Structure 1
Amino acid sequence: MQPKSKTRLMTLAAAMATLLGFGTASAQDYTFGWDPRSGDAWVDTWLGDMNRYGSRYRDPFVDEMVRYYGAPRDLVTDLLLNRHWAPGDIYYACAMASVMGRPCRYVVEVWERDHEQGWGAVARSLGIKPGSAEFHRLKKGFVPTYDRWARPITIDSDLQRDFPGRAKGADKQKAAQAGAQSKGKPAQGKGQGKNKNGNSQGSGGKH
């Protein structure tokens, strides 16, 4: 095979892998790199996890931003596919805008201008200070989002009063179910039951 043909083939394979959602983008693949600096280690951890989820499962990620955070679909798609934003940055911009009652596009523009300061400084400039009620709402919003994705999340100590039934044991059980699903073993969810013959019926959505 000629070198040029081999190069074209490799480029095509890489593009197909990207379209199909294989693999996870690295920090260098994102326009602003990846250094959230939210000022909260728990937030940074789960924003990083969103990079893995959003890169692999684009449609559910975009749907979440549109349906629950009021972001325009064309904006989220453009940020993710054309402007190469990290999914964690997209989520945090739209979630922050939702808490503020502002359009997602507004926080997107602020982040594009001030991203070198990190999310913690950007949040403070927008009136969301560490320890404030607004920051608590921002952190709390991670949990229902992860629940809708059927993705396990560890509840931070600041949020335990908001989710009293979500002790560490419950999260470990949820993580085990997710692990079983990833290995091809069905885990019984809310939408599953058993018929009179003892066979499972119904199925939950898979992302």
Structure 2
Amino acid sequence: MKDNRNLVIGISLLIIGIIGLSALSGMRLSTAGMMGGGMMMDRAGMKEMMKGMMGDLLPPGINPEKLPDPQSTGAQLLVQYCTQCHELPGPGMHTADEWPSVDDRMIRRMRMMGGMMHDINAPADNEFRTLVAYLQRHAQKPMDKTKYTDLNTPAGKSFDATCSQCHVLPDPGQHTAAEWPGVVGHMTQNMKTMGKPLPDRATLEAVIEFLQTHAK
């Protein structure tokens, strides 16, 4: 009886071992298939994965021609490297103080992904410095609230409540009065894409009024 029980236990352990080895072999084959040249994820796959992971947190990209100084080396590096994993970001997404840490995080991700995928490249050190300098030069300029006594007016409150949903309050002096309606229209589309509450027409008009009053 004892011998039979030992035999059953031995056979059971053997079966478990075979199943475990089969699962491990399948995992290795699957990994090899993913990392092999023909099955490796490309940039299009990476962008889709990023959209799935980030959802509405990523704003829509901008046209390269709309970048500040689009023919500069910094702009070209931005297009070359930053569109590998997601849509093209505008320099105005962050302030000059914020961009270095954002860029450092992105380059670490590119280097990590470059070791896993054949189609992701990280900038060289000199390119990275040029890219950061470009983004800081054209970064979002935050408003100095102490200089604007009309932030408590209806137009000022509309501006504050609307624009602070996505970024720091922008300095109205960054654009001319003629430019601000187009900028606000673009930002409204970003808000829609990102699932933010959209302001009504009266609120948008108040925001534009405030910005135009203090435009350059």
What TM-score results when the alignment is normalised by the length of structure 1?
Answer: 0.28
State the structure with bigger RCO (CA 8 A, min sep 6), 1 or 2: 2
What TM-score results when the alignment is normalised by the length of structure 2?
Answer: 0.27
- Please identify the structure whose Cα radius of gyration is greater: 2
